[in-house]
Amino acid sequence: MLVQTITPKTTYEFAADVRAGLTKPGQKELPSKYLYDDVGSALFEVISHLPEYGLTRADERLLRRHARDIVERLATPVAVAELGSGSGRKTRHILEALCRRQRTAYYPIEISPSALAMCERELSDIDSISILGFEREYLDGLLEVAAHRSPGQHLLVLFLGSTIGNFDRPAGIKFLTEVRRILEPGDSLLLGTDLEKSSVQLLAAYDDQLGVTAAFNLNLLARINHELDADFDLAQFEHVARINHQARSVEMHLRAMCGQTVNIRGAELSVEFLEGETLWTESSHKYSPAEVFEMARTAGFRCDVQWIDEQWPFAENLLIAE
């Protein structure tokens, strides 16, 4: 067993994205990836255990039940790259099944160094595995993984949870298409997709009674304060979850409770918030089972098989690069 990590860039990109998002005409917004610093990643781990948030448990149930079938459908030899590994707890089911067949190289790709370290600790006890972590954006990391490919070796890319849902539908298809360009025919992508469900169930999941999701969302402002020398007053913002019926998504916002000016010295920015104005931090789009097959086809994949959890409607989809 070998564990290594390749680490990244500076805060320049963070500052540039904060500046672009908070000066955007109309709706202020920030990329959801910035929710996952060390504190955010730890809070999301708590969210995944909340009774209202059944998505992570559905994801793990499917992986546990079908890991052997998934592995048997793969072209081998195969290396595994995971986009947004988180703690790696769910991934264990796939890796253990695969390591019974072959020695396996596993490449977690994460922007959160604490999540990457947690993942490496979680999985390092698996026999016949080597782990090389990349602290990178998804596509940058996947390009580096592809460069490590041995002759004749296939890739299995894991994109679990509901992360594809953070993209709007056109952007999601574009992202899958970019993943496909990095892969070779016969490579595979295991894609998790959260399925459509009632508004009541969704709002409970994204605005839990304990307030953990609110703390997770507000932590983004704390991160900007800490990393970019800003002066957000967290007590003057509140977490809001909204259903966007037209987009078939749940949106997370931070709403200003009064008019205020925020200085972000690390981004050379001073920004005004009106009372009631929101900062849009995340969307989570929901899909129909049939829609995933069409998304796959448009992006250059074939959906070989789809497994659905009935307790919390969620699908794991094994896509094959054509």
The string of pLDDT tens digits covering residues 45-65 is 999 999 999 999 999 999 999
Section 229-245 average pLDDT: 98
- Predicted confidence at residue 68, as pLDDT, reads 97
Residue 225 lies in a domain: no
Give the range of the structural domain holding residue 307, as residue numbers without chain letter.
55-197+286-321
At 155, which CATH number?
3.40.50.150
Q: Which of 187, 38, 9, 201 is nearest to 116 (CA)?
A: 38
pLDDT-based confidence at 1, cuts 50/70/90? very low
pLDDT at 39 over 90: yes
Per the CB < 8 A criterion, the answer to whether 84 and 138 are in contact is yes
- Predicted confidence at residue 282, as pLDDT, reads 98
Residue 37 lies in a domain: no
Task: Please tell me the total count of domains within the chain.
Answer: 1
Q: Which of 189, 197, 149 is nearest to 314 (CA)?
A: 197
What is the tens place of the pLDDT at every residue in 72-114?
999 999 999 999 988 888 999 999 999 999 999 999 999 888 8
pLDDT at 7 over 70: no
pTM attached to this predicted model: 0.93
What is the tens place of the pLDDT at every residue in 158-214?
999 999 999 999 999 999 999 999 999 999 999 999 999 999 999 999 999 999 999
Residue 90 lies in a domain: yes
Residue 71 lies in a domain: yes
pLDDT-based confidence at 148, cuts 50/70/90? confident
Residue 212 lies in a domain: no
Residue 236 lies in a domain: no
- Predicted confidence at residue 114, as pLDDT, reads 82
- Predicted confidence at residue 2, as pLDDT, reads 45
What the block records as the tokens of 56 is 């992570």
- Predicted confidence at residue 86, as pLDDT, reads 83
Residue 12 lies in a domain: no
The residues near 24 (Cβ < 8 Å, ≥ 6 apart) are: none
Residue 213 lies in a domain: no
